[in-house]
A and B are shown apart, each in its own frame.
Chain A
Amino acid sequence: MAMQDINQGKNTTTHTYQGLGPSLLMPTWLMIGIFLVLPVLMMLVYSFLTKEFRGGVIWEFSLNAYDQFIFDRGLFGDDPPKMEWTYIGIFWRSILQAGIATLLCLLIGFPTAWFIATRVGNSKSIWLFLITIPYWVNLLIRTISMKFLIRENGPANEFMMSIGLIDAPLQMINTNFAVQLGLFYSYLPFMVLPIYASVERYNFSLSEAAADLYSSQWVTLRKIIIPTVKPGIIAGCILVFVPSLGAFLAPDLLGGAKSFMIGSLIEDQFGGQAGNWPFGAAVSMILLSMVLIVLTFYARLQSRRAS
């Protein structure tokens, strides 16, 4: 196999479909190139255009969208610029909430993944199946279910009151707590599955060797297991952090007006009355850049591991 991989001889016929690569990839290139790469480039262009008031743009170069993100120039745009903290604040809170969600998911997800991966035979398949189902269930429906559960007069409050834990319903819905819970709940399966895949490949004789060399279980966990399954942990963290950062459903359905996240801010520029396409495009570009930075960092880590 290794030999074939480096096989670059000019007269090579090793691969069954040698030479057909580019044509077989043509549909992929066309589809993703035209309908994703081109749109993203166009979005970049739009972020430098002038807004039109009922949505859309005027084809005139302008830095207003980015300027608006950072500076406040008053209602008519002619006051001296002051720092505008609203949008930076939204970004900061989004990063914080996505980070907390990632941490919480890791805290619950790692032991779960480990537990499932160490089951044997049929019971393992059943556990895995149970954890996979929520992964496939519509995110909208899951978020609605959560909304239903934690409403003011919802089952969660009712239950806690009936057992005497609280006297009056807790205000959970429309709070930052609800958004946090929603993010954690939405992306928890995304943490479990990649870690599970890593633990599956873990060679348990490493643990035995550690134990044989007088390591306690927790030391083994810290010094042997976690470093070994790290690729899975990092993959899981990215799979939770990235979508959390751009989440729209959880803040929109569970959070109130004060729990704006980046996703809601972007949606507002295209769906709501405040429609400002160049600003929406600019915010999207900033979000995309942040995600690409995270992913590049991840790719670096991976390639360093590989080499």
Chain B
Amino acid sequence: MTAIARKRTFRWDRFIANALPHVALIVFAGATLMPLLLIVSASFSDDTLLTRRGFSLLPQGFTTFAYQYVADTGTQIYRAYFVTIGITVVGTTVGLFVMSLLAYALSRPNFRFRRILSFAVFFTLLFNGGFVPFYILMTQYLGLVDNYLALILPNLVNVFFVLILRTYFAALPGEVFEAARMDGAGEFRIFLQIAMPMAAPALATVGLMTALTYWNEWVNVLYFIRDPEKVTLQYLLFQIQQNIQLLQESDVYASMGVAIPAQSVRMAIAVIATGPAALLFLVFQKYLVRGATLGAFK
């Protein structure tokens, strides 16, 4: 009671000490947000006005033409969205399962081939055969041309993520596993019902990062997909942008008299491509902050 009743004295020094970091952080957050807002604003702007006056926080001559231009690539963009979501869901689910299986095995001290398997896994972190052998393997031995597997397999296991998971599994208290074994649980059951739920923060982090890798997939499309109906969103957007550049630079195309909203389309592409990924980030944010320190564990 007395504490509440006590008259609060306003102290400038304390106020400033509190306010300064806040102001600094607000300015920093504003500086971070600003480019994003500029992108959104530019994507709704008239391209001619953009060239004349430059970028601004509010759209200049509000128009959705850039989005229409992107949508006019036909049903392709919806199909590309579908492909991207498909490989993201399948790739992340399967990848997470495979990576945690591998990491769990590597984390168990009683696993006999632990050393040799660890070596085999981490060796690939330091050395690889280079791109041309990879291309030959994929196209000539595995025949993965125009196949969704070509987009899923290469990113299925990321050694660095395996390292994170292994570290997390290894840090789990051994007594829990002992107790489970006493109760008659087999190794697979321990993994599935004990280790996996306990590693949820690590799985969420790795899952998000894997999902982002699949979401941003375009390089493997460039090399292994020839059917325009099987391309991913990022590749399609990359291609639209490349084509705009080609159209603007070459005389052959310039003479066709098409007006291309180059700058606003570029920004619309950025919004379409990063929007869902940014939402995904918001959902997983709380895990990510916790998971970000995971690599620091022993």
Question: Do A and B originate from a single complex?
Answer: no
